[in-house]
Structure formats: C-alpha cells, structure tokens
Amino acid sequence: MVHRISITLITILATLPLFAQQDLGLERQLLIKTSPLALFEPETIVLQGGLEYFFTSKVSIQSEIGINGGILGIPAGREKNEDFKLWRSKNELKFYSKKYYWGIEFFVVQKDFVRLEDYYRPFMREILYDRAQIDFKVIGGGLKFGKQVYISRNLLSDVFVGLGIRGRYREVEVLELSENQNLGLFENLNPFADRYRNEGWDSVPHFTLGMKVGIIPGKN
C-alpha cells in the first residue's frame, strides 16, 4: 500500500511542469491542512493536521501536529512494538512563485514504546532482550519543494518533496534480558529496526515525499 502511494505521488510530481501555479488568491487567508497519508504509516496510525496562514499571496507559514492513539490511551503498537506513544510537530515558512512553492521546514518527533525481542549495541557489543523501553527523539530540518492547486472551490491539493537532515537520539532501558545472547540465531528481517539499536545521537539524511489537503473554512 505505502509503495503504491509513493509511486502515485512521484507520478503526480513528474507531471507538475505541465501546469501553471495559479494565483491562489489567499492573501490573509487561513487554511486547515490535513495529512491523509499519515494514516498509512508502517509503525502506527497517525492523526495529523495543522494550519497555513498566508501573509501575502507569496508568503505563508504552516504549523502541524500529529499524534497516535497511544497518546490518548488507545493501544497503538504494531509487530514488535507495544504501548506505542508518538507525537510530532512541524513548522514551515513557504514562498510561492508562479509555478511552485519552496519552503524551509523544522520538525520534532517523540516516540516512547516497549520493544519486544530485539537487541541494541551499548559499549560496542550486542545485547539481546525480550522487552525494552525505548525513548526515541528526532530533531531535523530541510528544504521543501511542491505545488498547491485547487481541486474544488474550497479544497486544495498540496504535493511536495523535501530534502534535509535529521538528528536522532535514543535511550534503551532493558526490562527483560533474553536468555539467548547468540546474535547469529537472531532473525533480522526489518531493515528499519536498526534505528532503535544504538544509543545516543547520530544524524542521517532526511527525505520526504507526500500530499496534504487544504480546506478553506467558510468558503462555499
């Protein structure tokens, strides 16, 4: 499902040069923004929305916040993750031209959860555990490039790509140590799990590809 969505978004972005960025006519206008693709994230369903305010027809600021059900006390873990709590926020300064917009974004992510049957690497060695408490933080920023167009009188589609850098911080507290400490017998099938197997800070490139829907309140 996620792979198909990514292909669809790339196709949309590839066809953007065929269209001209219309004057959105949104000076001093407030948009309500939703992120429907956040519902399909692999680790947990995220409810994400925000606001975009246009100071002029060419400059706006956008702020978003996203949470999962764990923040509300609803079980939200998947696969090896239990008691999964996630919140994140993102702020952007956007500049619109005749065809596209570009922006500067800053984001923060916080995850707290219990991870099952995995390992981590303190002091240059691997320790296998049955259960561990993970505290995972991300701080990052980058440049964003996209296009926002009307799809009806009061709805807009916002399709974008972005590139930047993110800093990641992890703390791992083992709750139950595994009796098996032979890493050779460990099934390492999830390529994304390695982000939780080190402690402290590191930094990695950040790539984003997505779509949002903008709603103009009060416009019929």
Average pLDDT over residues 146-171: 95
- More reliable by pLDDT, 11 or 128: 128
Residue 177: is its pLDDT beyond 60? yes
Instruction: Please check the confidence at residue 13 and state whether its pLDDT lies above 80.
Output: no
Contacts of 66 (CB under 8 A, 6+ apart): 35, 38, 46, 47, 48, 49, 86, 87, 88, 89
Q: Find tokens 């140590």 and name the residue.
A: 177
Q: Which of 64-73, 81-90, 179-188, 198-207 has the lowest mean pLDDT?
A: 179-188
Averaged pLDDT, 38-54: 94
Q: What pLDDT is attached to residue 220?
A: 56
Give φ, ψ of 48 to 5 degrees.
Answer: -135, 135
Rg (CA), the chain: 20
Would you state the pLDDT for residue 153? 87
Res 99 pLDDT > 90? no
Kindly tell me if the per-residue pLDDT of 212 is higher than 80.
yes
Separation of alpha carbons 62 and 56, rounded Å: 13
Share of the chain above pLDDT 90, in %: 68
- Mean per-residue pLDDT of the chain: 87
- Can you give the residue ranges of every domain in the chain? 2-212
Average pLDDT over residues 176-182: 89
Supply the DSSP symbol for 73: T
Bridge partners for 82 per DSSP: 114
For 52-70, write each residue's pLDDT tens digit: 999 999 999 999 999 999 9
Whether pLDDT at 198 is above 60: yes
Percent of the chain having pLDDT more than 70?
Answer: 85
Spatial CB neighbours of 183, under 8 Å, sequence gap ≥ 6: 119, 126, 128
Instruction: Give me the DSSP letters along 129-196.
Output: EEEEEEEEEEEEEEEEEEEEEEEETTEEEEEEEEEEEEEEEEEEEEEEE-S---GGG-----TTGGGG
pLDDT band at 187 (very low <50, low <70, confident <90, very high): low
Output the pLDDT for position 185. Answer: 66
> What is residue 194's predicted lDDT score, i.e. its pLDDT?
87
Q: In angstroms, rounded to a whole number, what is the distance separating the alpha carbons of residues 203 and 179?
A: 32
Residue 14 has pLDDT above 90, yes or no: no
Which of 31-40, 41-50, 116-125 comes out lowest in average pLDDT? 116-125
- Label residue 206 by pLDDT band (50, 70, 90): very high
Torsion of CA 190, 193, 198, 201, to 10 degrees: 140
- pTM over cut 0.85: no
In angstroms, the Cα distances linking 185 to 62, 98, 194, 197 are: 48, 57, 17, 17
